[in-house]
Structure 1
């Protein structure tokens, strides 16, 4: 059943013609469709959100301005949920009953303005007309949340086409999760993420979005939400804030790929260069101090449990390893593939020739221990290039000679066989699995005698600061235990011991007169 809106307020402000009223807040989900997450190269463990102003809402049939001096205005067709009954701390099982309607939306974004507000998207997605919604509302009571379809056409050609079956986060989960933090009020809108296919549009382009439920009786539909892109004439004032700026990374993300953006394939380059400034000297020094066990504990607190590279042991257990990942992938041996990819300047040789100073070569060998994955010559090459370490979940041949090179190496053990017995060197600088853990180029890798851990670059500073703070706390607790205090109430600390610890900290940080 499709609902036609009749509201006197729309005669005053036609922007909200596709909604029952002006929404108090609009909450948008960063990633929810597997197709989009895979395109971005990451699948988050939990949903994350940003807010859009209600002033960005527009009705079907309107236009959106691409501001003067910008080039990367991108569309994102989405299912919009409209809250009916207010929701506060509702369960996932009850959450859908608080959604009154679903409809089509277009979460436009201007990548030229994303750099300084990345994550919050305040300026890049908050502009007037950047959230078209409508034109018709579908009664949420008659459509299962996993039976909806969203499609987008640009100038009549299909650009996005996906369903809500198999989302990373279900619609009821989103509603319940948000209701943990604040009240979802009647008329609030949740934009539920976009599938793969989002791309750039230019003045003159017409974008249409439709949400429907083809498997439901009557095939209810939002109708087509139509928006025309026009060229704006107003420019930004540099004296007030950041100006639009783009680079090839933004172009590739806005268009969906480097190929779609008309850019050449990305050359093999240092992963540190792809994430400049991730490991500053100060941050590297902190990581040198933080034990892997402490970092693992802090990542676990943040929901990341699968970040240790299992099954590898250090050849130099007294050496601490800190660096950014450079990846190399082997696939299982097959004679014809080894003939085409195993010889010449193969992926293995390219990886060791290209590794940069402070980087860690991480090798996916699928835990296959019945062959070597490197020997002394490649270890020497990595050492000469200034690599921080080598991590492989396969074997190492010339084990003693590799150990003598001096570069820290983590491996599953020694094996005398050459590469071609079990492996084909396949590609470099791609997302891999090593020791049961996903590793991406540019991830931060830390190793000590306990093992190796992988830290997402966006979390590294937060995690290492927390780990060092925990180390200080543990040292204080250990000193009290050494004085004869029982561990009960001290480890972990109860309110009494916490107050004593806070007092001790205050004394340490209070300057002497």
Structure 2
């Protein structure tokens, strides 16, 4: 059959990063607010089209999505008004090639803006005939169902109308504009010869309206990129893991530095004071990053250390090492999901060591947090991003006032303690940040939770008016009473769900 043209010619195409609970759970990061990127209008195509995977690349991924078509211009509309500005809904495929994800630095311009990378259609569903919570998206690859989800309130992180209202705060959504509303779990890699079909429908609505099957066939195309004109495509294991959906699906060995989810959950539940006490029992006293405080009350942070070192400011060295794609920018760009970037700034509070742009990039990459014994620029904006950041202070001066970005992924000194890449970093707003040698993390977490459970029981007894003698810690009869209570009230097992990173950490590079 011949190609069917796209049923709409948008003036702009706006795509949502992470919108489905299933996708957030798969990625291990749940956004607290929606975020977006633009796709080129030249990427729009219709059904039964071919999508080109450039020769020499390996990671082309599909993402079946519900597309909203704007019917009447929307500017500063409320959530209650927003759906009335949507004229139609339909199916879409937010295709992307991961080989350009890192060079795009979050814009997705080359990775998702290529010709044919936004199939839409084939038919439009009248938005007045359906409720926004009634829609369903399904995707098939070579005839096998690989994605299925709905837009119900228990399935979407944000209601569809919120995207329209939110975007209208910042720009006029014009007639024909398209919003791609995110993909559920199940997105993965496709190769030349594969056929992808996407359908949006409303099975519970009258007549069960459907967009029909949006069919796209993957074909091999030229990949002779000119290095003299721009960046060449590049992939690494982190990109492979994201594109396939898991390390296992990508055929990769497990990351030896990654924290098992149950360990992460235990460390999230354990207080840093209790962790410090357990390390002290093992003869480790210099394990607290001193003098750093979180930007936001209620912060809890758990992750594996990635390190960055600044040297004292020297004009000639800053000239050679401070500009361009320097060690600081490379470290923030390279931070991976679940990692905490720890910065050695020599306890120097007289300038910033990161600002809002680098914090945003780390946040997009899925970082679990940042610790610096220096200052933070743009502190209010950094706090708003939601990335857990522990620092000495806020300071408006730029990096070059006191620091030279020098190297990363080495042993450093931060807040009067040594941090080795791969150490486990735990921070909270009660007692700051503690460093755990990776080999001790499991036993320290378990014993810290056990001791915290005991301390909670002791606290309740003291609150009842009992003196602390022989009670703190329990001894004699108190120890027997505690053991009897413990038999009936064992240490609770923390849930591993939702412990990846902290405070709504998300990844917005390719979704």
- Normalised TM-score (structure 1): 0.60
More RCO (CA 8 Å, sep 6+)? 2
Residues 83-122 of structure 1 correspond to what in structure 2 (within 5 A)? 83-122=70-109
Which of residues 250, 259, 269 in structure 2 aligns to 1:261?
Answer: 250
Give aligned pairs, total: 351
Residues 58-69 of structure 1 correspond to what in structure 2 (within 5 A)? 58-69=45-56
* Residues 366 and 394 in structure 1, CA contact (< 8 A), matched pair in contact too: no
Which of residues 120, 124, 136 in structure 2 aligns to 1:149?
Answer: 136
Q: Cα distance 1:176–1:267, how it changes in 2: closer, same or farther (>3 A)?
A: same
- Equivalent position of 1:200 in the other structure: 189
Which of residues 436, 439, 444 in structure 2 aligns to 1:354?
Answer: 439
Q: Cα distance 1:110–1:168, how it changes in 2: closer, same or farther (>3 A)?
A: same
- Equivalent position of 1:218 in the other structure: 207
- Equivalent position of 1:371 in the other structure: 454
* Residues 288 and 321 in structure 1, CA contact (< 8 A), matched pair in contact too: no
- Normalised TM-score (structure 2): 0.60
Deviations 1:424-478 (A, max 9, x none): 8999xx777xxxxx563xx7xxxxxxxxxx896999xxxxxxxxxxxxxxxxxxx
Deviations 1:372-397 (A, max 9, x none): 8xxxxxxxxxxxxxxxxxxxx999xx
Q: Cα distance 1:369–1:187, how it changes in 2: closer, same or farther (>3 A)?
A: same
Residues 252-401 of structure 1 correspond to what in structure 2 (within 5 A)? 252-268=241-257, 271-273=304-306, 275=335, 278-282=341-345, 285=348, 286=353, 287-290=372-375, 302=384, 304=386, 326=424, 352-354=437-439, 369-371=452-454
CA drift at 1:68: 1.1
- Equivalent position of 2:6 in the other structure: 18
> For the pair shown, which has the larger CA radius of gyration, 1 or 2?
1
Consecutive unaligned residues in structure 1, runs of 5 or more: 1-13, 309-318, 329-350, 373-392, 396-412, 433-437, 444-453, 460-513
Deviations 1:126-176 (A, max 9, x none): 000000000000000011111100000000000100001121111110000
Q: Per the alignment, in what secondary structure is the counterpart of residue 131 of structure 2?
A: coil
* Residues 30 and 505 in structure 2, CA contact (< 8 A), matched pair in contact too: no
Tell me the distance in 2 between the aligned counterparts of 1:197 and 1:439. Answer: 19
Which of residues 15, 21, 36 in structure 2 aligns to 1:28?
Answer: 15
Tell me the distance in 2 between the aligned counterparts of 1:426 and 1:106. Answer: 38
CA drift at 1:306: 9.3
Q: Per the alignment, in what secondary structure is the counterpart of residue 18 of structure 1?
A: coil
CA drift at 1:41: 1.1
Tell me the distance in 1 between the aligned counterparts of 2:388 and 2:223. Answer: 49
- Equivalent position of 2:118 in the other structure: 131
Q: Per the alignment, in what secondary structure is the counterpart of residue 234 of structure 1?
A: coil
Tell me the distance in 2 between the aligned counterparts of 1:355 and 1:207. Answer: 47
Q: Per the alignment, in what secondary structure is the counterpart of residue 242 of structure 2?
A: helix
Consecutive unaligned residues in structure 2, runs of 5 or more: 259-302, 307-333, 354-371, 391-414, 427-435, 459-470
- Equivalent position of 1:79 in the other structure: 66
Deviations 1:340-383 (A, max 9, x none): xxxxxxxxxxx745379xxxx878967973338xxxxxxxxxxx
Q: Cα distance 1:365–1:193, how it changes in 2: closer, same or farther (>3 A)?
A: farther
Tell me the distance in 2 between the aligned counterparts of 1:394 and 1:307. Answer: 32
* Residues 327 and 431 in structure 1, CA contact (< 8 A), matched pair in contact too: no
**Are 1:188 and 2:248 an aligned pair?**
no
CA drift at 1:70: 0.3
Q: Cα distance 1:248–1:234, how it changes in 2: closer, same or farther (>3 A)?
A: closer
Tell me the distance in 1 between the aligned counterparts of 2:417 and 2:445. Answer: 12
Tell me the distance in 1 between the aligned counterparts of 2:474 and 2:136. Answer: 55
